[in-house]
Structure 1
Amino acid sequence: MATVAFIGLGVMGYPMAGHLKTRGEHDVCVYNRTASKAEKWVSEFGGRMAGTPADAAKGCDFIFTCVGNDDDLRSVTTGEDGAFHSIGKGSIFIDNTTASADVARELAAVAEEKGFDFLDAPVSGGQAGAENGVLTVMTGGDQDVFERAKPVIDCYARMVGLMGPVGSGQLTKMVNQICIAGLVQGLSEGIHFGKRAGLDIEKVIDVISKGAAGSWQMENRHKTMIAGEYEHGFAVDWMRKDLAIVLEEARNNKSSLPVTALVDQFYQDVQRMGGNRWDTSSLLARLED
């Protein structure tokens, strides 16, 4: 059993912290900006809550964060009352936020100065993956640090991979989002075309999902897309945040991402339709609007 802090109890962090307590049977202390969420978590899972990130991290072997963006991450780490002010030497900080590779490297440098270790470890699998403890975790950092942290990360993951040095986890998550953006747009266009052509889309998907066109998105989202239901996962606002990180990195490394840039504009159209909190499969709604 390890002493663990978890900072950020959103739709992902709340169940992830829960798995650390129930599956790992770790001693877990949580912090959330809205204290009522932390109080609810403690009432459901036990453990403890703290008034600041620094209080949560003090004396812990492993400190996890899952917050919104780079600025949020800096706030709960190096900001006033941030966790980095109290983390002890030899501890491991594991960031599950989808953020930039630059902020990962920045915080890793600060951690090294203070004598503790850092892993960037963004996740994929959405809210359902977090709730069921079957996330995919893409990790950047040193091999020995990864090996020490992996048994704890395993509490909420189906797959945990070390992708390279610090920043590599975030870069891998960017690849993940690039692929998803294209897949969802292709699936949306296919369903839209099939409906206009008068086909029975359920029959079409049943056949083509067993061939080269098959994907997780097709298997898990086609029914709700056909029904026009978009309340089932990763929100458009979050996807646009992630794609902004992707496109900024692409400008820096001079990679060409024309489809990703186009799909990002399509998601902006969905936002203008009022679909900020719809899930990413709502690209179909744009075609049928």
Structure 2
Amino acid sequence: MSSIGAKSYEPATPKKVAFLGLGVMGYPMAGHLAKAGHSVTVYNRTPAKGEAWVAEFGGSARQTPREAATGADIVFACVGNDDDLRAIVLGADGALAGMQPGAIFVDHTTASADVARELYGAAKNLGIAFVDAPVSGGQAGAQNGLLTVMCGGDQAAFDVARPVAMAFSRAFTLMGAPGAGQLTKMVNQICIAGLVQGLSEAIAFGQKAGLDMNLVLDVIGKGAAQSWQMDNRGKTMVADKFDFGFAVDWMRKDLGLVLDEAKRNGARLPVTALVDQFYADVQSMGGNRLDTSSLIKRLR
């Protein structure tokens, strides 16, 4: 069975592309690029994952980011954090060492706006374009090719990358200058943190009050309280099921980026800071890999 869902792809001129990082997001994203007709070379820190990807989708795997990126029109990446990103981009074995002037690096890692600006500058010095392009939509969005992608960078590079990236995207939007994609993703995570805490308190309250919470969610989900979190996580929260989705560890990493940026720009984030500490409580309960909706565990 394929690791990606069926999707109809928009017509795009076939490109030679590379994909660096084959985790829960990158593996299916690269798969959609191959299915859409692009020539894909992959790199993963553990080579077995690259070999498995090639066995499923074709293309080829390389031992270093530089080798994977050599000759590519566009290099896509999705890794863990700022340090992981620098490791695959910079240095003798990094992607920039293999890329030609005029090529484009599109980074889907959720990272800091600072590292996006830093790598944009390093790439520009070599005549290479860099687009920061964090995603929203989670593992299901990646598997179904329906991610929402928020980009920072230059219009010309964005225009070339967009038709190719639509293989795994629902929307691929330029938000502004380098770093603007990462800042937009931070706004996204602030919204989610507050929403999930509110939903957790509501469900815990309703259960204590003796209500049929599945029925409650059906009713209030048709009104002003409706949200993606309620539609997709409400009933699994009622059922105490959290072994899927976006891990608490990753949410804490993202909220750390948010709170660091807020210190720099002076934004006041009292609820976000509080929810970050609530997620620390979930980690201390052993919930590191549980879905973010496991926030309700603190209240039970």
The one-letter amino acid paired with 1:8 is G
The one-letter amino acid paired with 2:26 is G
Aligned to 1:5: 18
The one-letter amino acid paired with 2:160 is R
The residue correspondences of 1:158-237 to structure 2 (distance < 5 A) are 158-237=170-249
The worse-fitting range, judged by mean Cα deviation, of 220-229 and 48-57 is 220-229
The one-letter amino acid paired with 2:221 is S
The one-letter amino acid paired with 1:90 is G
Aligned residue among 137, 140, 144 for 2:149: 137
The worse-fitting range, judged by mean Cα deviation, of 77-86 and 165-174 is 77-86
Instruction: Look up the SS of the partner of 1:163 in the other structure.
Output: strand
Does residue 241 of the first structure (1) align with residue 260 of the second (2)?
A: no
Compute the RMSD of aligned alpha carbons. 0.6
Give 1:223 deviation, angstroms: 1.4
Q: In structure 1, list runs of 5 or more residues that go unmatched.
A: none
**Count of residues paired in the alignment:** 287
The residue correspondences of 1:1-289 to structure 2 (distance < 5 A) are 1-22=14-35, 24-288=36-300
The one-letter amino acid paired with 1:155 is A
Distance 1:223 1:44 in 2: 34
- Identity within the alignment, %: 65
Distance 1:80 1:184 in 2: 43
Q: In structure 2, list runs of 5 or more residues that go unmatched.
A: 1-13
Instruction: Look up the SS of the partner of 1:64 in the other structure.
Output: strand
Instruction: Look up the SS of the partner of 2:125 in the other structure.
Output: helix
Instruction: Look up the SS of the partner of 1:155 in the other structure.
Output: coil
Distance 2:100 2:69 in 1: 9
Give 1:232 deviation, angstroms: 2.0
Instruction: Look up the SS of the partner of 2:105 in the other structure.
Output: strand
Give 1:160 deviation, angstroms: 1.0
1:70-111 superposed Cα distances (whole Å, 9 cap, x missing partner): 000000000341111111010010000000000000000011
Aligned to 2:3: none
The one-letter amino acid paired with 2:225 is A
The one-letter amino acid paired with 1:205 is L
Distance 1:61 1:281 in 2: 39
The one-letter amino acid paired with 1:7 is L
The one-letter amino acid paired with 2:20 is I
The worse-fitting range, judged by mean Cα deviation, of 137-146 and 276-285 is 137-146
1:225-246 superposed Cα distances (whole Å, 9 cap, x missing partner): 1111101200000000000000
1:27-57 superposed Cα distances (whole Å, 9 cap, x missing partner): 0000000000000000000000001000000
The one-letter amino acid paired with 2:182 is Q
The one-letter amino acid paired with 1:21 is A
Instruction: Look up the SS of the partner of 2:286 in the other structure.
Output: coil
Give 1:174 deviation, angstroms: 0.1
